[in-house]
Structure 1
Amino acid sequence: MYKRKIVSLISNNKKIIENLSYLTVIQIISMLLPFITYPYLIKTLGLSLYGKVMLSQAIVSYVAIIIDFGFTISATKSIAEVISDKVKINEICSAIIVTKTIVWVISTIIYITSVLVFVNDFQSKILYLTAYTLTFNEFLICQWFFQAKEDMKIIALLSVIAKIINIALVFTFINGPSDYIYVSLLTGICYFITGVGCILLMLSRHIELQRPSLSSIKNVIKDSFNIFLTSAVITIKNKLDVILIGAFLNSEFVAIYDFSQKILTLALIPINIINSAVFAKMSREKSLNFLKKLIFASVILSTGYVLFAQLFIPLITKVLFVPSEESIFLTRMMMISVVVFSISLPLARNGLLIYGYTHLHLLGAFSTTIVYLLTMMLGYYFNLLTSLNFFLYTSIGIFSYELIYRIALCRWKKII
C-alpha cells in the first residue's frame, strides 16, 4: 500500500522531482565550488583586501536588481501560465529580452560615469568597474525561461562548466594581493559565457526573437514592477549591512560578516531549491493544500539540518576561514534565520505571489526596509554601528518581522 502511494507520488510529480534535481545541482555548484577558492583567496589577498572585493560586489548588487527587474519570478510565472501557446511565449520572451537590454545599457552608462566621477584612486576605479561584470548574471542568464519550461538540465550543465572555469581562472590569475581587483572580473567572464550559451540555446531551440510591440513591453514591465520594487527594497536591507560595516568598522569585519552570510546562504539552498522547483506547478494549480505541505516539509527539513550543522561550524570556520570566537558565534547565530526563512519564503513566493498579491508583498517589503532603516538610524544615534553584533541581531530580528507580516497577510487573504 505504502509502496503504491510512493510510486504514485513520484509519478504525479515527475517534473517537479526532475526540476528539483537540476535546481539542486545548480544551487550546490553555485555555492560549494566557490568554497574551493575561498580559503585560497583569504590567504592570498588577506581579510582586508578580500573585504574590499565584497564591498564592491555589494554595491554592484544594487545595479543587478535593476537589471533583473523582477523577471526571474514574473517571467517564470507568465510563461508557465501559457506554456502551450508558442506564439504567446515568443511575444513574452522577446519583450523581456529587449527590456533587459535597454535597462542594462542605461545602467551601464550611469554606473561607469559614477565610478569615474566619484571614485578617486585608480585601483578602486578598476575594482568597481570589474565588479560590474557580475551583472552579466542578471542580464544574460535566462533561468526564468527554462524554469517555466520545467527543463533545467541545460542551466545545470552550463553552471557546472562555468564554475569549473572560474575556479581554474582564480588559481591561475590571482597570485598575490595586487590581483584583488580581478577577482570579480573572473566571475563576470564565467557569467558571460553561461549567459551567451543560455540565450543561444533558447533562441535556436525554443523561441523566435521578434520585434515586440510597445504594449508587450508595457505588459512585462507591469507584471514585474511590484516584484522589482520588492527585490529593490529587500536588497537595500540585505546589502546595506556590508556597506555600513565597511564604513563604521573596517574591511576585515566585512570579510567576517560576509563569511557568516555565505554559510547562511549555503544553508538556505534546500529551501530555495524546493520552492523554485514547485513554483511552475503552483502557478498552474494554485493548491492551498500543497502549499501547507510545502511549508511543513520546509520546517522539518531546515530544523533538522540546522541543529546538525551547529556541531560542525567550528570545523567549517577553521577549514574555510580564519577561526575566531567572533566568526564562530556570528555564523552559529545566523543559522537561526534558516528556520524562520523556511516558513517565510513559501508564504511569499508560493503564496502571496502565486495568488496575485504582489502589491501586498511589496507593501510588506517596504515596511521591512523602513523598520531596518529606522533601526540603523537608532544604531547610529546610540553609537551601536561599531559593533558587529548589532548587525547580527538586527538581521535575525528583520527575518522574524518578515515572517510575522507574511503570516498575517496570508491569513487575511485565506491562503493559509
Structure 2
Amino acid sequence: MRDKNKQRLLHNTLFLYILTFSGYFFSLVTVPYQTRILGPEFYGKVGFAVAMMTYFRLIIDFGFILSATADISKNREDKQEVARIYTAVMYAKGLLTAVSLVVLLGICYAVPMFRQDIFLYVLTFASVAVSAFLPDFLYRGLETMKRITIRTVAIQAFFVCMIFLFLKNPQHYYFVPLFTLIGNAVALFWVQMHVFRTLKIRFVPLEKGYLKHTIRKSSSFFFSRIAATVYQATNTFFLGLMYTPGNVKVGMYVASDRLVGTAKTAFSPIADSLYPYMVKNRDFKLLKKIMLVIMPPVIIGCIVLGIYAKPFMALFLGSAFYEAGSILRILLPIIAITPLVYMLGFPTLSPMGLAKHANLSTIVSAVVQIIGLSVLFLTDIFTVHTLCYITVISQSTVLFYRFIIVWKNRHIFTTKELVSDVLET
C-alpha cells in the first residue's frame, strides 16, 4: 500500500511540477523578448501591474489551495462531500472576485497614476482572476494532475507564441496581460469541461452556513499567504510608488525578482504534492531523502550564478539589464533556502499537528520585512539594494522559525529514527 502511495506521489509530483512550472517557464522564455522590446521603463510598468494584482489574486485564492486541497484529500472517497467543497470554493472565489474588481476600479479612478493606465490594470486583473478559478485544489487533493496539466500547458504554449508574433514595440505592452488572459480563459474552459464530464463533479446546493464555514476555515491560510507575499509584491509596489512604475530601477528589480520567483517555483510543486501525501502517510524519511538530493545542486548553482550575475543578466535579458545582476546577486540566498523553507512548512508541520506554525512563520517574516522597510524609510537609506538585503533577512526568518518549531516538538515523531531523519537535514 505504501509503495502504491509513493507511486501516486511521484506521478502527481511530476505533473504538478509541469503544471506549476510551465506557467513560469513560458513567462520566463518570453522575458528576454519582452525586456528587449519594452525596455526597463515599459517592462517596469507591466511588472508593477502584476505586483499590484498579486494582492487581488491572494484575496480571490483566499488560501483555498491549502485548506481545500487538504479537505479534498481527506474526503476523496466521498464524492458528495468533494462536490460540496468544490462548489463552496468556487462560489467563494466568485464573491471575492466581484469585491476585488470594485476595489480595483475605485483605486484606478481615485489615483491619477493608475487612471492613466487603467486598461493595463483591468486586463492584468482579468488574467489573474481567470487563472484563480482553475481548480488546482481539486486535482491536487485527488492527486490526479495529468489531464489538467496536459490541457493547460498546451493552451499556455500556444498563447505565449502570440506574444512573439504581436508584441513589436513598447506601446504594445498591454499585449502581455491580454494574451495571458486569453490563454487562461481557454485553459479554464477545458479544465471545467473535464471536471463536469470526466470527474462527474457538479455544483451542488450547500447547507446553510457551509460557504461561510469554508471561508472562515481558510482564513488562517489566507493571512499566511498574504504575509508570504509581502516581500515579493510589496517590494515592487513600493518601488513603483517611490520611483514611478516606468522608472528604470523598477524594471531592473522586476527582472531580477522574476528570475528569483521562477527559481523558487521549481521547488513549489514538490512541496505541494508532498502536502496531501504527508497528511495521509507521515513519511518523514522520504522527506529527508528529497532534501538531501535537492540541496547540494541548489547551493552550488547559486554560488556559480552569483559569480557571473551581471554578464548573465546582460546575456539573458539584454545589455540594458547588466546592472540588474547586482540586484540578483543579493537575492540569491532566497533561492538557496527555499527548498528547506517549503519542506519544513506544511509537508512537515501539518502531519505533526503544527500547521498553524507554518502560517505564523510567514506572518513573523512579514513583520520583520515591514519593520525593515520602516527603518529604511526613517533613516533615509532606502534603495533597491538595501531593500534586497532586508528581504533576504525576512525570508531567512521563516526558515529559522520553522526549524526551531520542529526541533522543540521532535518528540511528536513516533520513533527516534524519524526524529533524526528530519532534524539532521
Aligned to 1:211: 205
Aligned to 1:366: 363
1:246 aligns with 2:243: no
For structure 2, list consecutive stretches of 5 or more residues without a partner in the other structure: 413-421
Percent identity of equivalent pairs: 18
Deviation at 1:10, TM superposition (A): 7.2
Q: Give the partner amino acid of 1:366.
A: I
SS of match in other structure, 1:372: helix
Aligned to 1:401: 397
Moved more, 63-72 or 10-19: 10-19
Aligned to 2:388: 392
Structure 1 residues 239-388: aligned runs within 5 Å:
239-249=233-243, 251-310=247-306, 313-314=309-310, 316-323=312-319, 326-385=323-382, 387-388=383-384
TM-score (norm: length of structure 1) = 0.90
Assess, with a 3 A threshold, how the Cα gap between structure 1 residues 163 and 309 changes in structure 2: closer, same or farther.
Answer: farther
Give the alignment partner of residue 230 of structure 1, picking from 224, 227, 233: 224
Assess, with a 3 A threshold, how the Cα gap between structure 1 residues 360 and 276 changes in structure 2: closer, same or farther.
Answer: closer
Moved more, 248-257 or 125-134: 248-257
Assess, with a 3 A threshold, how the Cα gap between structure 1 residues 20 and 139 changes in structure 2: closer, same or farther.
Answer: closer
CA distance in 1, matches of 2:351, 2:389: 31
Aligned to 1:143: 136
CA distance in 1, matches of 2:304, 2:316: 18
Say if 2:69 and 2:138, in contact at 8 Å, map to a contact too. Answer: yes
Aligned to 1:75: 68
Say if 2:156 and 2:187, in contact at 8 Å, map to a contact too. Answer: no
CA distance in 1, matches of 2:162, 2:377: 41
Aligned to 1:5: none
Aligned to 2:98: 105
Say if 2:346 and 2:355, in contact at 8 Å, map to a contact too. Answer: no
CA distance in 2, matches of 1:311, 1:166: 35
Assess, with a 3 A threshold, how the Cα gap between structure 1 residues 121 and 364 changes in structure 2: closer, same or farther.
Answer: closer
Assess, with a 3 A threshold, how the Cα gap between structure 1 residues 358 and 280 changes in structure 2: closer, same or farther.
Answer: closer
CA distance in 1, matches of 2:110, 2:5: 57
Deviation at 1:310, TM superposition (A): 4.7
Aligned to 2:119: 126
Assess, with a 3 A threshold, how the Cα gap between structure 1 residues 270 and 120 changes in structure 2: closer, same or farther.
Answer: closer
Deviation at 1:249, TM superposition (A): 3.7
Aligned to 1:53: 46
1:198 aligns with 2:179: no
Q: Give the partner amino acid of 1:263.
A: L
Say if 1:36 and 1:167, in contact at 8 Å, map to a contact too. Answer: no
Say if 1:141 and 1:196, in contact at 8 Å, map to a contact too. Answer: no
Say if 1:279 and 1:350, in contact at 8 Å, map to a contact too. Answer: yes
Say if 2:83 and 2:202, in contact at 8 Å, map to a contact too. Answer: yes
RMSD: 2.4
Deviation at 1:67, TM superposition (A): 0.2
SS of match in other structure, 1:335: helix
Moved more, 224-233 or 299-308: 299-308
Say if 2:59 and 2:222, in contact at 8 Å, map to a contact too. Answer: yes
CA distance in 2, matches of 1:137, 1:315: 37
1:182 aligns with 2:175: yes
Matched positions, count: 408
